[in-house]
């Protein structure tokens, strides 16, 4: 168990922003916490789960997570929901109305923006939601601030009966820094749900009177922001440039320009415009450094102040010192020469699938079948767009594969006429938002072949549980969704529901070929667990008998990272054509003995290593 769970008051710890949020939630007396995994927010709930005083769950998606938290807050409990930036889009339907109705127990939504796009499909600035939903936004710059602001967010939420957004970024969530843990848990007992239809039943007649209340609340929050010590300035005698900044950009500004005056906004929405006006009066040039959109900048300009910002700084990505220096130095009249360093010419190393990954089989099949449009989804299987498979044609958002595939079927162009449409989705993504797409496709007589890659985990975020795994966040047994029965219930004909072992390559290829020729919806469901989880069983590794390898390269096409090229030879065939032979080797430390590559090898050059030890022989070997 994480040591910080038992941390004494006034002790120092090296904590990530996510760990700090969890500790603060516990101290703040949170009773209910919910989330759906998503980088860089995943560890918030994983850490909250370590505190026994908090009920915590993996919800099936972010909208559900926020709704669970809202329900708890209406019962008077302090509640927290955590998600990555794109999760906010899913959840927004719930909090946009609840912001109007308000809350009783403190409700805090922690959102993590993937600034710099390390593991997401887009880059969004979640601070917009505060403006859109009339909710305050707090922006921590590091772990210590994340810890303190989460506690303050609960107080603010209860004082103004409003959901509060704590906006993190990757550089807060995943940076480990010193945190002084100040206190222990303070219980906040739930008063229980108080019936009040005028307040909680958001019909037009009840919602309308809430509008002036919400706007009055926003004015009060504005005054609160002006007075808040979360909005503080660092003074200096050098008044050439004064920075207004928020979030981790504050750290980059302090690092790069240690002698410049700075107004740091921790309570950034509503923005403390009078405080900013006073600060602006003390400096020659006001520069806003914010990630990522020019939100504060636009608001400051609208308040009649002259300000620089995105005219000199990038509108996307992190504003690291190496980005700030060339943009700001010229403003100071200090010429800045970008240092010339040798540029590295090393090959790219994109993430790829793992040895024994159960997605390797389906992608081997997809890459060997022609005339397919393959509509993808969010998960490890998105990597199928890469080498050597090149077998994924789109990726947009959670659950989109089935509905987009259906639209692609209905909107076929002349060049698609002879093509089959395939949707590829994983178990957790299917349960998150994919089911509705299948239901819609059946209901509207679509014709898509669905590949449901059930690896019994949320793979990309580190193997979390979901309703298809049979376990919850705490590892306790739960009913396990039966995907075949679910597909049948949604209307797929039983004949078109095919279960397959993805390691059985010939069957895998045959099934995809058969089902894509059908003139009706069908679903192929795989059944091997993610090879990085405890559910995966490791077998004795395989090796290549070098003098039996003919250099056909078929096993390389599998894309298993345990298989690499030992040597290449160019030979001339009888026809006079030259051909490159690719000889393979298998790294015994990486190979986990799944035996998929054996099925690609006609000369039977791949054999299981002798020496039994404790590792079992694969049943198919």
Interface contacts to another protein, rule CB under 8 A = 12, 14, 39-40, 116, 118-119, 142, 170-171, 174-178, 248, 251-252, 254-256, 318, 320-322, 339, 341-354, 380, 383, 386-388, 460-462, 532, 556, 559, 561, 563-565, 568, 580, 582, 589
Q: How far is the CB of 568 from another protein (least distance, A)?
A: 7
Q: How far is the CB of 101 from another protein (least distance, A)?
A: 35
Residue 39 or 98: which CB sits closer to another protein? 39
Query: What is the DSSP-derived secondary structure letter of residue 51?
Result: -
Q: How far is the CB of 384 from another protein (least distance, A)?
A: 12
3-class secondary structure, 429: helix
Residue 176 or 493: which CB sits closer to another protein? 176
CA 588, CA 566: separation in Å to the nearest integer? 14
Residue 445 or 568: which CB sits closer to another protein? 568
Residue 39 or 99: which CB sits closer to another protein? 39
Residue 482's H or E segment, with its range, is: none
Q: How far is the CB of 379 from another protein (least distance, A)?
A: 11
Residue 263 CB: number of other CB atoms within 10 A? 25
CA 51, CA 289: separation in Å to the nearest integer? 37
Residue 49 or 249: which CB sits closer to another protein? 249
Residue 354 or 598: which CB sits closer to another protein? 354
Query: What is the DSSP-derived secondary structure letter of residue 552?
Result: B
CA 497, CA 516: separation in Å to the nearest integer? 13
Question: Can the peptide bond before residue 575 be classed as cis, meaning omega within 30 degrees of 0?
Answer: no
What does the buried/exposed string (b/e) look like for 547-559 if buried means 16 or more CB atoms within 10 Å of the residue's CB? eebebbbbbbbbb
Q: Which residues are CB-neighbours of 506 under 8 A, at least 6 positions away?
A: 599
Query: What is the DSSP-derived secondary structure letter of residue 314?
Result: -
Instruction: Read off φ and ψ for residue 458, nearest 5 degrees.
Output: -90, 95
Q: How far is the CB of 360 from another protein (least distance, A)?
A: 11
Q: How far is the CB of 435 from another protein (least distance, A)?
A: 26
Q: How far is the CB of 358 from another protein (least distance, A)?
A: 14
Q: List beta partners, residue 498.
A: 524
Residue 449's H or E segment, with its range, is: strand 449-453
Query: What is the DSSP-derived secondary structure letter of residue 423?
Result: E
Residue 28 or 563: which CB sits closer to another protein? 563
Q: How far is the CB of 252 from another protein (least distance, A)?
A: 5
Which residue blocks in 36-126 are alpha helix, DSSP H?
42-48, 62-74, 85-101
Residue 162 or 353: which CB sits closer to another protein? 353
Residue 350 or 477: which CB sits closer to another protein? 350
Q: How far is CA 212 from CA 215, 244, 503, in A?
A: 5, 31, 61
Q: Is the Cβ–Cβ distance between 516 and 444 less than 8 Å?
A: no
- Reading across the β-sheet that carries 241-245, which strands appear in turn? 231-234, 262-265, 241-245, 285-289
Q: Is the Cβ–Cβ distance between 32 and 69 less than 8 Å?
A: yes
> 47-51: long-range contacts at Cβ-Cβ below 8 A with a sequence spacing of 24 or more?
47/2, 47/18, 47/19, 47/21, 47/22, 47/23, 48/22, 48/80, 49/473, 49/474, 50/1, 50/2, 50/5, 50/22, 51/5, 51/22, 51/25, 51/26
Residue 102 or 248: which CB sits closer to another protein? 248
Residue 70 or 558: which CB sits closer to another protein? 558
Q: How far is the CB of 251 from another protein (least distance, A)?
A: 4
Residue 274 or 580: which CB sits closer to another protein? 580
Q: How far is the CB of 259 from another protein (least distance, A)?
A: 13
Radius of gyration (Cα) for the chain, nearest Å?
Answer: 28
> Which residue shows structure tokens 């990505």?
317
Q: Is the Cβ–Cβ distance between 232 and 244 less than 8 Å?
A: no
Q: How far is the CB of 15 from another protein (least distance, A)?
A: 11
Residue 7 or 107: which CB sits closer to another protein? 7
Tokens of 486: 């679910």
Residue 342 or 411: which CB sits closer to another protein? 342
- Chain-centroid distance of CA 306 in Å reads 37
Residue 341 or 577: which CB sits closer to another protein? 341
Q: How far is the CB of 427 from another protein (least distance, A)?
A: 18
Q: How far is the CB of 413 from another protein (least distance, A)?
A: 31
Q: Is the Cβ–Cβ distance between 587 and 566 less than 8 Å?
A: no
Instruction: Read off φ and ψ for residue 208, nearest 5 degrees.
Output: -55, -50
Nearest to 362 by CA among 508, 229, 254: 508
Q: How far is the CB of 547 from another protein (least distance, A)?
A: 21
Q: How far is the CB of 359 from another protein (least distance, A)?
A: 11
- Number of residues in the chain: 621
CA 531, CA 614: separation in Å to the nearest integer? 18
DSSP 124-135: --THHHHHHHT-
Q: How far is the CB of 39 from another protein (least distance, A)?
A: 4
Q: Is the Cβ–Cβ distance between 487 and 497 less than 8 Å?
A: yes
Residue 222 or 236: which CB sits closer to another protein? 236
């Amino acid at each position: 168990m994480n040591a910080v769970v038992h941390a004494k008051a006034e002790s120092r710890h090296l904590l990530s922003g996510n760990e700090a949020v969890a500790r603060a939630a516990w101290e703040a007396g949170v009773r209910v916490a919910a989330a759906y995994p998503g980088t860089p927010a995943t560890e918030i709930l994983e850490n909250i789960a370590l505190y026994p005083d908090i009920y915590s769950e993996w919800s099936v998606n972010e909208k559900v997570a926020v709704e669970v938290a809202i329900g708890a807050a209406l019962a008077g409990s302090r509640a927290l929901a955590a998600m990555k930036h794109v999760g906010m889009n899913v959840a927004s339907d719930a909090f946009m109305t609840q912001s109007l109705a308000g809350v009783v127990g403190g409700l805090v939504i922690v959102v993590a923006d993937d600034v710099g796009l390390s593991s997401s499909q887009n880059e969004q600035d979640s601070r917009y939601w505060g403006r859109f939903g009339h909710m305050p936004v707090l922006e921590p710059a590091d772990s210590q601030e994340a810890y303190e602001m989460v506690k303050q967010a609960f107080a603010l939420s209860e004082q103004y009966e409003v959901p509060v957004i704590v906006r993190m970024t990757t550089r807060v969530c995943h940076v480990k820094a010193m945190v002084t843990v100040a206190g222990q848990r303070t219980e906040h007992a739930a008063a229980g749900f108080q019936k009040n239809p005028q307040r909680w039943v958001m019909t037009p007649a009840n919602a309308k009177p809430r509008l002036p209340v919400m706007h009055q609340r926003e004015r009060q929050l504005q005054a609160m922001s002006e007075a808040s010590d979360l909005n503080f300035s660092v003074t200096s005698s050098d008044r050439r440039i004064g920075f207004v900044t928020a979030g981790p950009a504050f750290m980059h500004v302090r690092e790069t320009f240690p002698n410049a005056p700075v107004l740091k906004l921790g309570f950034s929405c509503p923005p403390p415009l009078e405080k900013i006006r006073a600060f602006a009066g003390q400096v020659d040039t006001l520069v806003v450094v914010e990630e990522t959109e020019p939100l504060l900048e636009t608001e400051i300009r609208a308040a009649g102040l002259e300000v620089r910002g995105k005219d000199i700084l990038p509108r996307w990505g992190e504003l690291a010192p190496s980005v700030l220096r060339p943009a700001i130095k010229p403003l100071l009249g200090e010429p800045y020469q970008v240092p010339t360093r040798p540029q590295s010419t090393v090959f790219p190393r994109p993430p790829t699938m793992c040895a024994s990954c159960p997605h390797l089989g389906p992608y081997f099949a997809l890459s060997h079948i022609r005339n397919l449009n393959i509509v993808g989804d969010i998960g490890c299987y998105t990597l199928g767009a890469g080498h050597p498979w090149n077998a994924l044609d789109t990726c947009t958002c959670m659950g989109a594969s089935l509905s987009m595939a259906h639209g692609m079927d209905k909107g076929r162009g002349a060049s698609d006429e002879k093509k089959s449409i395939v949707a590829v989705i994983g178990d957790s993504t299917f349960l998150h938002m994919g089911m509705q797409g299948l239901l819609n496709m059946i209901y509207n007589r679509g014709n898509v072949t669905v590949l449901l890659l059930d690896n019994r985990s949320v793979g990309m975020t580190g193997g979390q549980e979901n309703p298809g795994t049979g376990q919850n966040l705490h590892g306790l047994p739960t009913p396990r969704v039966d995907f075949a029965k679910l597909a049948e219930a949604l209307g797929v004909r039983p004949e078109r529901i095919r279960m397959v072992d993805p390691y059985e390559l010939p069957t895998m290829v045959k099934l995809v070929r058969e089902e894509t020729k059908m003139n009706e919806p069908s679903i192929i469901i795989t059944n091997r667990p993610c090879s990085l989880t405890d559910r995966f069983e490791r077998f004795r590794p395989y090796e290549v008998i070098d003098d039996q390898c003919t250099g056909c390269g078929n096993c390389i096409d599998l894309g298993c990272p345990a298989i690499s090229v030992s040597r290449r030879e160019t030979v001339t065939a009888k026809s006079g054509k030259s051909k490159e032979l690719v000889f393979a080797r298998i790294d015994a430390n990486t190979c986990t003995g799944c035996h998929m590559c054996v099925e690609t090898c006609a000369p039977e050059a791949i054999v299981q290593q002798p020496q039994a030890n404790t590792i079992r022989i694969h049943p198919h070997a």
